[in-house]
Structure 1
């Protein structure tokens, strides 16, 4: 899993996150792949809505060029 320091995360622009509230950072392909995996996991645990999940998938795939 890709790690960001607090300073690195704080330095990211808002559009580098898949969800409002600066949730699910996807500034690069490694983080996009991690977001894809975690989003499905969180959806199945009931911690994300279907709409949030779909948004993360769409944004992560865009970063990955898919």
Structure 2
């Protein structure tokens, strides 16, 4: 996975994150795929609600669709 430095993460607009509080950055396909994997893990461990997982999934899929175009 590509790493985001603190400066790069801070420079991202709020829309580049899947959840409020600037959680789950998804500025590109690599981060979107990682967000999907982490969200699934966190849902199964009880750290995300189904609604949060669904939001992450939808936003990550949108990023992946855009990257394919």
Task: Flag whether TM exceeds 0.5 (same fold).
Answer: yes
- Structure 1 unmatched ranges of 5 or more: none
Cα RMSD between the aligned structures?
Answer: 1.1
- Structure 2 unmatched ranges of 5 or more: none
Are 1:2 and 1:34, in contact at CA under 8 Å, matched by a contact in 2?
A: no
Counterpart-to-counterpart distance in 2, 1:9 and 1:29? 15
Return the TM-score normalized by structure 2. 0.91
Matched position secondary structure for 1:65: helix
Counterpart-to-counterpart distance in 2, 1:39 and 1:3? 18
